[in-house]
Amino acid sequence: MPAVSKGDGMRGLAVFISDIRNCKSKEAEIKRINKELANIRSKFKGDKALDGYSKKKYVCKLLFIFLLGHDIDFGHMEAVNLLSSNKYTEKQIGYLFISVLVNSNSELIRLINNAIKNDLSSRNPTFMCLALHCIANVGSREMAEAFAGEIPRILVAGDTMDSVKQSAALCLLRLYKASPDLVLMGEWTSRVVHLLNDQHMGVVTAAISLITCLSSKNPDEFKTCVSLAVSRLSRIVSSASTDLQDYTYYFVPAPWLSCKLLRLLQCYPPPEDGAVKGRLVECLETILNKAQEPPKSKKVQHSNAKNAILFEAISLIIHYDSEPNLLVRACNQLGQFLQHRETNLRYLALESMCTLASSEFSHEAVKTHIETVINALKTERDVSVRQRAADLLYAMCDRSNAKQIVAEMLSYLETADYSIREEMVLKVAILAEKYAVDYSWYVDTILNLIRIAGDYVSEEVWYRVIQIVINRDDVQGYAAKTVFEALQAPACHENMVKVGGYILGEFGNLIAGDPRSSPLVQFNLLHSKFHLCSVPTRALLLSAYIKFINLFPETKATIQEVLRSDSQIRNSDVELQQRAVEYLKLSSIASTDVLATVLEEMPPFPERESSILAKLKKKKGPGAVSVELEDGKERGELNGGGDRGGDAAIAASNASTPSPSADLLGLRSAAPVSGTAPSAGSLLVDVFSEAGPAASSAGVNDDGFLSSAPPSAASEDPAPPLPESDELLNKFVCKNNGVLFENQLLQIGIKSEYRQNLGRMYLFYGNKTSVQFVSFSTIVSCPGELQSQLNVQTKTVEPLVEGGAQVQQVINIECLTDFIDAPLLNIKFRYGGALQNISLKLPVTINKFFQPTEMAAADFFQRWKQLSQPQQEAQKIFKASHGMDTEVLKAKLLGLGTALLENVDPNPENYVCAGVIQTKAQQVGCLLRLEPNAQAQMYRLTLRSSKDTVSQRVCDLLAEQF
């Protein structure tokens, strides 16, 4: 038993450990431990005071028992007692016990802090280090409160021993990480930075970690560290391999310190001072040169230490991304490593080259290694190396090599590890789309993907191919032909059936001329797959069938037969049953014209960026995907490509009420066909933008990057008003309160009141998510001539809206003169990093400024006659779109703001109203007559006022209300 014999050993402890090791079973071990616990407990409780040695021994045994995985609920007090021993070994065991077992038992913490305090002021460097290590290991807030003021003093005091300085620096770092508010560097900043000049390399090594952390949080305050770091680095790099003695590791001078210095420099942009920059570039060149020199030792430690510095230097070069010469040299160096016999180096070279590929200066240089990388993908034994090779191929892909890379990735997919297949599929899909010159290649690639790795092809991928086929007529015939062929395979993936069903349903006619793919052949082929498919796919196929009936009337009988069969029309799945019933009915009663309209070819999808990209980024995490850096400008308006109503034609016909589970494309709701992407964020949008710009902006950041996602390069112009905003406006003509707008993220409620020509509106913005909205801002604007008609003032809102919270905004409105348009409300905020940009019309309409006017019948008719010039009257005759219930009509007319005059119109069925519109410039009297015709379900609405524009506007507004 070698250890027992050594030096100071606590014999009792060694015996106990041996006993435990000799236990043959878990039960025996527990028995032995319980015996020991009982023994220790009795010793601690015994009358006889224990000496320091015994106390140390028992506390150490307790610690050992704890480390074996057993709970320890006593001994803390004895451990704390050991802290005040003046013997190092006793103190050390006490501190160790506390560091390992500490919980925030506040009473104990007070005692511990007291002991630490004594040791810190003991001027005994060994005790000081023990105390500092304890703080560094525990790092609790109580400790920060007690010592955050003292430790900086110890760190910079002239008479502090070097080893204590090292511990103090890192101790402070720990406290700063845990409680940054308690560590105030202010007056110490400059002296801490100057520790970079310390003679003792160990002090520099420790202090630089602290400085790096502080610099990344407060770069400006610490920027003097740049020149100091450069000169320190320069001295190390240019030293001979023996100069630094203790700090030379396998002939490499101070490798860890060099790495830390290079890392610190990555907190900053390139030095502005020409001399400093020159010196730094010289260092980087020297490091690159040394990589080419013959090794001073054959040991792997030598080359690892040397290459650790080299890789860190390359990181800095990439971080600067401004020295083409260095970037290309770095790339060449990594190129050599790609073929190195050390797996580690090949791995790291692939990884590092990935970031080089995104620099414009080195992209071409990286591309020259394509064959080597492809070879790595095929032959590396370690899957993580193959993964890096795939990443690099993706990063180096551009138009010139896309076909080669996609082909290689596809062929790799056939044998790829399951763990990376899904990601590979996404990458292939993205590259194929991004670099597709002819879309038949794109279609082939995606269908191949489905064939090779169908299980890993997510919805995003096959939605996307359909979107693209629908949007590009030049590829539709080819796509139909290709899916038709692919479906011939006896076993084809369900995703292939989905794509096939959709595409043949839309474009099967393009290949129907060939008797080998006649309509019936197509139908039979699809239907042969039907029974093996899941419910959503079957639902999709049923929709394809009804489309066939429209495309090919000759298939009608066959398909109706299928729909009519019990397995469809009485299917236990409600969605399938409903589709079968409705499609059957539709095909039997609708005329061919109606059928053709309802089942028309899908309109093109609005162009937007691929949702596949979002998915990949989600998988890889922020900064991991570099290819699409160049596309950053498009990010603001991204929308999940798949969120639009693939089923729109069907939904529009009201022939089916799609349930979420069985929607044709798995889509929740049919968005407006107008093509304006709703700004409401789908999940995909959020995920995507969260990724933010990739690695090249590596500069300054803090730990919590989730909360401080860097702004994406989105367009910040207000979005055009939502297409439905006119409709929303109409909702509020006759009411002042309600919900103006709602999507998955945001709800906007509204309350308003008007008096004379003034109005006040309260907007309530509710965050429906559990995540806060940041950069929340709203702008109310009056477009065009409205500017001179309305005076609108708003208070700004708080830029943060917590999850689940609501903020209020008050808008004051003054009506200067009559108006037609409505003010625009633009709302912008970031949700999980994604810019949301919504524009709505504020429901401020001219009728809001009505003052009701009561008058008798005689007065009414007299005024009515006075307003008899043709332009003073506006009239509309329109069909009722709602019920003609008297009470509802009255409520609406009152809501309009006018007085409803009873017993004025000789016909009791009619309604007449009167009011004065108050504007700053003038008052406009207004009379109204509404004549319902219940039999014809029609209304005649007549408005007369002293101003033609007012008559017309009120008439238009009101006509939409019935």
Partner 1 sequence: LVATGVGAKTYRRIRFILIQNRAGKTRLAKWYMQFDDDEKQKLIEEVHAVVTVRDAKHTNFVEFRNFKIIYRRYAGLYFCICVDVTDNNLAYLEGIHNFVEVLNEYFHNVCELDLVFNFYKVYTVVDEMFLAGEIRETSQTKVLKQLLMLQSLE
Residues numbered 181 to 210 that lie near partner 1 (CB under 8 A) are 201-202, 205-206, 209
> What is the C-alpha to C-alpha distance for residues 587 and 582, in angstroms, rounded to an integer?
8
Residues in 372-401 at the binding interface with partner 1, rule: CB under 8 A? 381-382, 384-385
CB contact at 8 A, 557 and 523: no
Give a three-class secondary structure readout of 650-661.
Answer: HHHCCCCCCCHH
Nearer to partner 1, 349 or 740 (CB): 349
Regarding beta strands 850-852 and 911-918, do their DSSP bridges make them parallel or antiparallel, or are they unpaired? antiparallel
Regarding beta strands 899-901 and 850-852, do their DSSP bridges make them parallel or antiparallel, or are they unpaired? unpaired
Angle at 603 between CA 602 and CA 604, to 5 degrees: 115
Q: Provide the minimum distance between the beta carbon of 249 and partner 1 in the complex, in angstroms, as a whole number.
A: 7
Which of 234, 344, 747, 791 is close enough to bind partner 1 by CB under 8 A? 344
Give a three-class secondary structure readout of 86-115.
Answer: CCHHHHHHHHHHHHHHCCCCHHHHHHHHHH
826 near partner 1 (CB under 8 A): no
Which residues, 6 or more positions from 83, have their beta carbon under 8 angstroms from its beta carbon? Answer: 91, 94, 95, 98, 112, 115, 116, 119
Residues in 284-303 at the binding interface with partner 1, rule: CB under 8 A? 301
Stretch that binds partner 1, among 84-92, 465-473, 484-492, 711-719 (CB under 8 A): 84-92
Phi, psi of 128, rounded to the nearest 5 degrees: -60, -45
Q: Provide the minimum distance between the beta carbon of 768 and partner 1 in the complex, in angstroms, as a whole number.
A: 23
Q: Is the dihedral of CA 541, 600, 658, 554 positive or negative?
A: negative
Nearer to partner 1, 307 or 689 (CB): 307
Tokens at 13, concatenated = 């402890």
Q: Provide the minimum distance between the beta carbon of 336 and partner 1 in the complex, in angstroms, as a whole number.
A: 16
Q: Provide the minimum distance between the beta carbon of 123 and partner 1 in the complex, in angstroms, as a whole number.
A: 16
Nearer to partner 1, 647 or 690 (CB): 690
Q: Where are the alpha helices (DSSP H) in 102-184?
A: 106-120, 125-138, 141-147, 150-156, 162-178
Q: How many residues bind partner 1 (CB under 8 A)?
A: 86
Nearer to partner 1, 252 or 927 (CB): 252
Q: Which value, in Å, is the radius of gyration of the alpha carbons in the chain?
A: 38
Stretch that binds partner 1, among 13-21, 442-450, 538-546, 878-886 (CB under 8 A): 13-21
Q: Provide the minimum distance between the beta carbon of 410 and partner 1 in the complex, in angstroms, as a whole number.
A: 24
Q: Where are the alpha helices (DSSP H) in 238-273?
A: 255-265
Stretch that binds partner 1, among 264-272, 474-482, 717-725, 812-820 (CB under 8 A): 264-272
> What is the C-alpha to C-alpha distance for residues 648 and 672, in angstroms, rounded to an integer?
9
Which of 131, 185, 257, 586 is close enough to bind partner 1 by CB under 8 A? 257
> What is the C-alpha to C-alpha distance for residues 225 and 248, in angstroms, rounded to an integer?
24
347 near partner 1 (CB under 8 A): yes
Nearer to partner 1, 308 or 504 (CB): 308
Tokens at 597, concatenated = 């309209």
350 near partner 1 (CB under 8 A): no
CB contact at 8 A, 537 and 663: no
704 near partner 1 (CB under 8 A): yes
- DSSP symbols for 786-804: GGGTEEEEEPPPPS-B-TT
Nearer to partner 1, 106 or 245 (CB): 245
241 near partner 1 (CB under 8 A): no
- DSSP annotation of 358 reads T
Residues in 129-168 at the binding interface with partner 1, rule: CB under 8 A? 133, 136-137, 139, 163, 166-167
> What are the CA-CA distances from residue 503 to residues 34, 452, 512, 518 (Å)?
73, 20, 13, 15
Q: Provide the minimum distance between the beta carbon of 476 and partner 1 in the complex, in angstroms, as a whole number.
A: 42
173 near partner 1 (CB under 8 A): yes
Which of 246, 371, 474, 566 is close enough to bind partner 1 by CB under 8 A? 246
Using CA atoms in the order 797, 722, 789, 922, what is the torsion angle rounded to 10 degrees? -110
Nearer to partner 1, 14 or 670 (CB): 14
Nearer to partner 1, 38 or 706 (CB): 706
Q: Provide the minimum distance between the beta carbon of 317 and partner 1 in the complex, in angstroms, as a whole number.
A: 14
307 near partner 1 (CB under 8 A): yes
- DSSP symbols for 535-556: HHHHHHHHHHHHHHHHH-GGGH
SS3 26: helix
Residues in 394-453 at the binding interface with partner 1, rule: CB under 8 A? none
Residues in 209-228 at the binding interface with partner 1, rule: CB under 8 A? 209, 212-213, 215-216
> What are the CA-CA distances from residue 326 to residues 282, 285, 316 (Å)?
10, 7, 10
Nearer to partner 1, 256 or 864 (CB): 256
Q: Provide the minimum distance between the beta carbon of 408 and partner 1 in the complex, in angstroms, as a whole number.
A: 22
Which of 28, 532, 706, 805 is close enough to bind partner 1 by CB under 8 A? 706
> What is the C-alpha to C-alpha distance for residues 493 and 21, in angstroms, rounded to an integer?
57
254 near partner 1 (CB under 8 A): yes
Tokens at 737, concatenated = 């309160």
Nearer to partner 1, 269 or 895 (CB): 269
Q: Provide the minimum distance between the beta carbon of 897 and partner 1 in the complex, in angstroms, as a whole number.
A: 54
Binding string, residues 881-900; x marks residues near partner 1 by CB under 8 A: --------------------
Q: Provide the minimum distance between the beta carbon of 266 and partner 1 in the complex, in angstroms, as a whole number.
A: 5
Which of 243, 631, 702, 753 is close enough to bind partner 1 by CB under 8 A? 702
691 near partner 1 (CB under 8 A): no
Stretch that binds partner 1, among 34-42, 258-266, 683-691, 813-821 (CB under 8 A): 258-266
- DSSP symbols for 438-494: SHHHHHHHHHHHHHHHGGG--HHHHHHHHHHHHH-HHHHHHHHHHHHHHHTSSS--H
703 near partner 1 (CB under 8 A): yes
51 near partner 1 (CB under 8 A): no
Which of 55, 76, 232, 260 is close enough to bind partner 1 by CB under 8 A? 260
- DSSP annotation of 179 reads -
Residues in 59-78 at the binding interface with partner 1, rule: CB under 8 A? 60, 63-64, 67, 69
Chain center to CA of 945: 55
CB contact at 8 A, 809 and 763: yes
Residues in 114-133 at the binding interface with partner 1, rule: CB under 8 A? 126, 133
249 near partner 1 (CB under 8 A): yes
3 near partner 1 (CB under 8 A): yes
Nearer to partner 1, 168 or 957 (CB): 168
Nearer to partner 1, 6 or 516 (CB): 6
Q: Provide the minimum distance between the beta carbon of 41 and partner 1 in the complex, in angstroms, as a whole number.
A: 21
Nearer to partner 1, 116 or 348 (CB): 348
- DSSP symbols for 603-659: PPPPP---HHHHHHHHHH-TT---GGGGGGGGGGG---GGGS-TTHHHHHTTS----
Which of 36, 55, 75, 92 is close enough to bind partner 1 by CB under 8 A? 92
Which of 174, 498, 529, 617 is close enough to bind partner 1 by CB under 8 A? 174
Residues in 619-658 at the binding interface with partner 1, rule: CB under 8 A? 621, 623
CB contact at 8 A, 500 and 465: no
> What is the C-alpha to C-alpha distance for residues 451 and 697, in angstroms, rounded to an integer?
39
